[in-house]
């Protein structure tokens, strides 16, 4: 690791930010044109943002708007900027603040950090204007698609000829998605770095990647076979109806495509018994497919909870026809009977307990983060890990409530992360809320209870370790199940993403080099953006 040299800038607190070559190079690019920065999680996208913000405020004056998807992330960014920026007012705008107060804060502040929905609403109500905004930063920029509020704000901003900076660890694997993000946000340039790039490598801490394969226990395999039989029966019915083809594997993704196709036919007025029946059978296949995934990759607790929900739904007055048909089937009764005789959990849980226990024995001051896809699994893993000697365990879940489980409000999520950083907890079990952007301390070990098919989520999960010291990532994979498909999918998409990003970057660089005229020399007293950061006189 390199010795620390600090950034010198009139608007950045002295000796507070390490000066890294690749961060300055990326900041230069962002200052020259609207740029999407694609950088692995933990490699300092926020520092690059600080460098750009500081120079924009000094040279171009005006305001800076920083947008992030969630309130905890907004507050995290604002805290960082308040700590590092000198002599500039940083405000946090949320929906909890009265509109009149937001309007006043907007006028009085140099940097505004907010969720996009709040800004979009205030723009519509003409409480605020982007006229004086010189830079907008879109954190987790891959969200800039469809009708997400980033898109509306960026479109409004395009008329003001200001600078845009997008930040993400992964904008998506398809060229269409990458181009859509760039077009929607008004981005003209892409800068990509990976851990292997020569200017990044000196700052990278080693991350040990381990894939741990487990087998489906015999008892669970019998149960899964029954669910698969029911699933295949529903798929065959859909094939017979002509809405699916047997030539294509009946994945959940395919079944969702079938649902959309049926819905299109309904919207066009094709309303008959066959089409409604196809929609119901498709819903049954989705539900049973989910139960099968839980049986193979999650375990008894998660499957039992899901089957109970299906039974409750089937017995309620407004319950779906699909749930009633599943619960009435012979296979459902057989699954419940087999489930009642099983005394074991999925072998993944014993592996997780063993890995965490060993980590805390070898390095008692470790921080451990366990990711789970499902809330029920999160609860089970939290409870069982609490039995390990030396483990101080809590969970990090989203706001959405369910029955007696109300979830965690955003302030509570921030509190959990702070207590994790402070060492009050040393193990956090998190659902997807822990993946995106949040600073989850110097984590020594990250465990995936299951692989995720999304390359964005996989990159974000991995990036929770190796930030300021070496780390380890363990991915649990159940052999012969959807786990394997998810792992292969995320790895393939990540390779494709990096290849397409570099292709697009090369195309844009060629086009820009043809169109580029010699840059004018900076006027006296003006920052030279090619020599960033500016030197401090005296």
2-16, 259-273, 372-386, 470-484: lowest mean pLDDT where? Answer: 2-16
Q: Is the pLDDT of residue 74 over 60?
A: yes
Alpha carbons 229 and 513: distance in angstroms, whole number: 60
Phi, psi of 80 (to 5 degrees): -60, -45
Q: Which CATH number fits domain 218-341: 3.40.50.300, 3.90.120.10, 1.20.1320.20, 3.40.50.920?
A: 1.20.1320.20
pLDDT for residue 496: 86
- Residue 21 has which token pair? 């070559």
* Alpha helices (H) in 125-194, listed in sequence order: 149-157, 175-185
80-84, 123-127, 492-496: lowest mean pLDDT where? Answer: 492-496
Phi, psi of 208 (to 5 degrees): -85, 120
Strand ranges in 340-380 using DSSP code E only, listed in sequence order: 368-371
Partners of residue 472 on adjacent β-strands? 208, 445
Same fold, 21-203+498-515 and 207-214+346-479: yes
Could you read off the pLDDT of 412-461 as tens digits, one per residue?
Answer: 888 888 899 889 999 999 988 776 655 665 788 999 999 988 777 777 77
Could you read off the pLDDT of 290-347 as tens digits, one per residue?
Answer: 999 999 999 898 999 999 999 999 999 888 899 999 999 999 999 999 998 887 889 9
Q: Please choose, from the candidates 299, 328, 295, the residue with its C-alpha nearest in 3D space to the C-alpha of residue 311.
A: 328
Sorted by sequence, the CB contacts under 8 Å of residue 4 that are 6+ apart come out as 18
222 or 498, which is more confident: 222
pLDDT for residue 532: 37
8-12, 179-183, 455-459, 504-508: lowest mean pLDDT where? Answer: 455-459
Q: 18 near 148, Cβ under 8 Å?
A: no
Phi, psi of 358 (to 5 degrees): -65, -40
Report, at the CATH architecture level, how domain 21-203+498-515 is classified. 3-Layer(aba) Sandwich (3.40)
> Any idea where the domains of the chain sit in the sequence?
21-203+498-515, 207-214+346-479, 218-341
Give a three-class secondary structure readout of 386-446: CCCCCCCEEEECCCCCECCECCCCHHHHHHHHHHHHHCCCCEEEECHHHCCCCCCCCECEE
12-16, 281-285, 508-512: lowest mean pLDDT where? Answer: 508-512
Q: What is the band of 536 on the pLDDT scale with cuts at 50, 70, 90?
A: very low
pLDDT for residue 457: 75
Q: 413 near 448, Cβ under 8 Å?
A: no
Report, at the CATH architecture level, how domain 207-214+346-479 is classified. 3-Layer(aba) Sandwich (3.40)
pLDDT for residue 404: 58
């Amino acid at each position: 690791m390199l010795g620390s040299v600090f950034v010198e800038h009139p608007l950045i607190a002295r000796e507070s930010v390490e000066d890294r070559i690749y961060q300055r190079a990326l900041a230069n690019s962002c200052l020259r044109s609207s740029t999407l920065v694609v950088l692995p999680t933990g490699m300092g996208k926020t520092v690059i943002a600080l460098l750009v913000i500081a120079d924009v405020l000094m040279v171009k004056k005006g305001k800076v708007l920083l947008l992030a998807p969630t309130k905890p992330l907004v507050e995290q960014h604002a805290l960082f900027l308040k700590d590092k920026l000198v002599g500039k007012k940083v405000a946090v705008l949320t929906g909890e603040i009265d509109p009149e107060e937001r309007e006043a804060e907007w006028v009085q502040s140099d940097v505004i950090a907010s969720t996009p929905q709040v800004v979009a609403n205030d723009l519509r109500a003409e409480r605020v204007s982007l006229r004086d905004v010189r830079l907008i930063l879109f954190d987790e920029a891959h969200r800039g698609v469809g009708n997400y509020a980033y898109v509306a704000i960026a479109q409004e901003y395009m008329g003001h000829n200001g600078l845009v900076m997008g930040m993400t660890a992964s904008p998506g694997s398809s060229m269409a998605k990458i181009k859509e993000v760039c077009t929607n946000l008004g981005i003209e340039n892409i800068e990509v770095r990976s851990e292997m790039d020569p200017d990044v490598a000196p700052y990278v801490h080693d991350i040990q990647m381990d894939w741990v394969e487990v087998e489906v226990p015999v008892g669970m395999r019998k149960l899964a076979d029954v669910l698969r039989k029911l699933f295949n029966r529903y798929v065959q019915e859909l094939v017979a109806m002509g809405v699916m083809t047997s030539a294509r594997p009946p994945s959940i993704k395919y079944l969702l495509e079938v649902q959309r196709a049926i819905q299109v036919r309904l919207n066009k007025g094709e309303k008959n018994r066959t089409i409604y029946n196809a929609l119901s059978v498709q819903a049954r296949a989705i539900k049973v497919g989910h139960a099968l995934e839980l049986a193979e990759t999650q375990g008894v607790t998660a499957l039992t909870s899901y089957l109970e929900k299906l039974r409750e739904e089937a017995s309620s007055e407004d319950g779906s026809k699909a749930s009633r048909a599943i619960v009435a089937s012979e296979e459902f009764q057989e699954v419940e009977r087999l489930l009642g005789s099983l005394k074991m959990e999925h072998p993944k849980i014993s592996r997780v307990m063993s890995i965490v226990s060993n980590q805390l024995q070898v390095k008692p001051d470790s921080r451990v983060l366990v990711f789970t896809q499902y809330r029920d699994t999160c609860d089970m893993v939290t409870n069982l890990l609490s039995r390990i000697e030396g483990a101080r365990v809590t969970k990090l879940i989203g706001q959405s409530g369910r029955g007696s489980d109300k979830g965690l409000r955003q302030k509570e999520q921030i509190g959990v992360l702070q207590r994790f950083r402070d060492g009050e907890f040393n193990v956090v079990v998190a659902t997807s809320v822990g993946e995106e952007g949040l600073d989850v301390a110097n984590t020594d070990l990250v465990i995936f209870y299951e692989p995720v098919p999304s390359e964005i989520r996989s990159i974000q999960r991995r990036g929770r370790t190796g930030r300021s010291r070496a780390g380890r990532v363990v991915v649990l994979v159940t052999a012969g199940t959807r786990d394997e498909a998810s792992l292969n999918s995320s790895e393939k998409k990540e390779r494709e993403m990096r290849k397409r990003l570099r292709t697009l970057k090369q195309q844009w660089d060629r086009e820009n080099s043809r169109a580029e005229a010699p840059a004018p020399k900076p006027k006296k007293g003006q920052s030279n953006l090619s020599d960033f950061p500016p030197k401090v006189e005296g």
